[in-house]
Amino acid sequence: MNIRHLARTNVLALEPYQSARRLGGKGDIWLNANEYPLPPSYALRGDKLNRYPSCQPPGVINGYAAYAGVRPEQVLVCRGADEGIELVIRTFCEPGTDAILFCPPTYGMYSVSAETFGITCRTVRTRQNWQLNLPEIRAQLDGVKLIYICSPNNPTGNIIDPDAIRELLEMIHGRALLVVDEAYIDFYLQASLTGWLAEYSHLVILRTLSKAFALAGLRCGFVLANEEVVQLLLKVITPYPLALPVADIAEQALSVDGLRQTRARVAETNANRESLVRALAACLCVREVYPSASNYLLVWFDPAYQVFKTLCNRGIILRDQSNQPGLADCLRITIGTQEECQDVVAVLKALNPFSSLSKES
Ligand code: PMP
């Protein structure tokens, strides 16, 4: 029996998110998913797997609230920031009526989550410097319930100008919520907007343990917002979003020692990134390395397909961004270990632009 005709029309039409795992590839140096290159070592504690976990484990909520400098009532924990993106849509958007707005080039899950729930996507391209085009956003606000802004932006790496975000918050006051995706903010914590929650009841911030906490496999993220928003999200979230082992490890990651390890990881990643920036700038196949406040670099190559393929043949997997608006010939490189960064540079140093390698080879 053909089951396809029973599926929802928008699901049939949906282009699923091309995650790094879905795209796959063969290699031993994985620089395509903005993960931390080495696993942290946490041991599972507790043996009560016969019991359901708490929906919002207090140890995790209190730990993250202390880390982020907010009150526990302002924290919701979920299965990664991806679940946070979806929860806000399911809580605030009316299918068939409301729209979300985001500013490409940016993270791909805002559109996938919206489309899955029958919510219209409106896009306003960023300016050439990847900052917000406020007049155009203002012109597109009709019917928009949520605006997603990613800062540092994936894949461009830039922080979105806080003055523009403030102007946007004032502009949409009373009609929409602003969701700021801070998945990578731990690499540049001074730019976090958590301090603004007290001022703006319509500000929502997404966070994750997948990046600086080196726990992408754990699937643990957070929504930070005012209590009224958190209470609404709690009506929609599944009864037991966090498996007991997840809560156990998240709590350890947020302990004094866990946070010390994260701070060390951030310092090391940022130092590796800056060395990689300098080394890449000296490679002939590199046209521009864009400044980044996170654990990846966006690089404009000459040409990107050659670099991607050559590295791929050496088992080094990057993320091709050339199909994103305005990012022709751009690849995203996750900051790996120092050795992994050096391996990338060693291959690229040997590459000249316009070399004999053809597109087909
Ligand atoms: N937001 C952005 C900007 C991301 O890059 C990612 C990770 N790909 C996510 C959210 C989702 O993170 P998580 O692993 O917490 O679901």
* DSSP character string of 217-244: TT--EEEEE-HHHHHHHHHHS-S--S-H
315 close to 26: Cβ distance less than 8 angstroms: yes
Adjacent-strand bridge partners of 5: none
Q: How long, in residues, is the chain?
A: 361
Q: Residue 353 — very low, low, confident or very high, per pLDDT cuts 50/70/90?
A: low
* pLDDT attached to residue 361: 39
Q: Tell me the whole-structure pTM to 2 decimals.
A: 0.95
Closest C-alpha to 236, from 113, 91, 75: 91
Burial of residue 199 (CB within 10 Å: 0-12, 13-18, 19+) is exposed
Side chain identity at 91, as an amino acid letter?
A: T
Ligand 1 atom nearest the C-alpha of 85 is: 10
Percent of the chain with pLDDT over 90: 89
Ligand 1 atom nearest the C-alpha of 81 is: 15
Q: Read off the pLDDT of each residue in 79-86 and give the average, rounded to a whole number.
A: 98
Query: In the predicted model, is pLDDT for residue 23 greater than 80?
Result: no
Q: What is the mean pLDDT of the chain?
A: 95
* pLDDT attached to residue 127: 98
* pLDDT attached to residue 325: 95
CA–CA gap between residue 75 and residue 58 (Å, rounded): 10
Query: In the predicted model, is pLDDT for residue 69 greater than 90?
Result: yes
CA–CA gap between residue 134 and residue 121 (Å, rounded): 17
CA–CA gap between residue 284 and residue 91 (Å, rounded): 49
Query: In the predicted model, is pLDDT for residue 306 greater than 50?
Result: yes
CA–CA gap between residue 276 and residue 110 (Å, rounded): 30
Question: Tokens standing for 108?
Answer: 């791909």
* pLDDT attached to residue 359: 40
Q: Can you give the C-alpha Rg of the chain in angstroms?
A: 21
Ligand 1 atom nearest the C-alpha of 107 is: 3
Strands 75-78 and 221-225: antiparallel
Q: Read off the pLDDT of each residue in 110-115 and give the average, rounded to a whole number.
A: 96
Query: In the predicted model, is pLDDT for residue 296 greater than 90?
Result: yes
Of 8 and 86, which is predicted with more confidence? 86
* pLDDT attached to residue 265: 98
3-state DSSP percent of the chain in helix, strand and coil, to 5: 40, 15, 45
Ligand 1 centroid to Cα of residue 209, in Å, is 9
163 C-beta neighbours (distance < 10 Å), count: 9
Ligand 1 atom nearest the C-alpha of 19 is: 8
Residues contacting ligand 1 via CB (< 6 Å):
34, 80-82, 107, 150, 154, 181, 183, 208, 210, 216, 221
Of 355 and 200, which is predicted with more confidence? 200
Q: Where are the beta strands (DSSP E) in the chain?
A: 29-30, 75-78, 99-102, 120-123, 144-150, 177-181, 203-208, 221-225, 286-289, 296-301, 316-317, 319-320, 330-334
Q: Residue 354 — very low, low, confident or very high, per pLDDT cuts 50/70/90?
A: low
Ligand 1 centroid to Cα of residue 183, in Å, is 6
Adjacent-strand bridge partners of 41: none
Residue of the nearest CA to atom 2 in ligand 1? 183
* pLDDT attached to residue 81: 98
Query: Minimum mean pLDDT among 106-120, 227-241, 299-313, 342-356: which range?
Result: 342-356
Collapsing DSSP states into helix, strand and coil, what is residue 90? helix
Q: Residue 300 — very low, low, confident or very high, per pLDDT cuts 50/70/90?
A: very high
* pLDDT attached to residue 360: 39
Q: Read off the pLDDT of each residue in 264-274 and give the average, rounded to a whole number.
A: 98
CA–CA gap between residue 288 and residue 65 (Å, rounded): 38
* pLDDT attached to residue 189: 98
- At 201-224, the pLDDT tens digits run 999 999 999 999 999 999 999 999
* pLDDT attached to residue 133: 98
Residues 6+ apart with CB under 8 A from 165: 132, 149, 151, 178, 180, 193
CA–CA gap between residue 166 and residue 159 (Å, rounded): 14
Query: Minimum mean pLDDT among 22-31, 58-67, 280-289, 324-333: which range?
Result: 22-31
33 close to 222: Cβ distance less than 8 angstroms: no
Question: Tokens standing for 94?
Answer: 């009316």
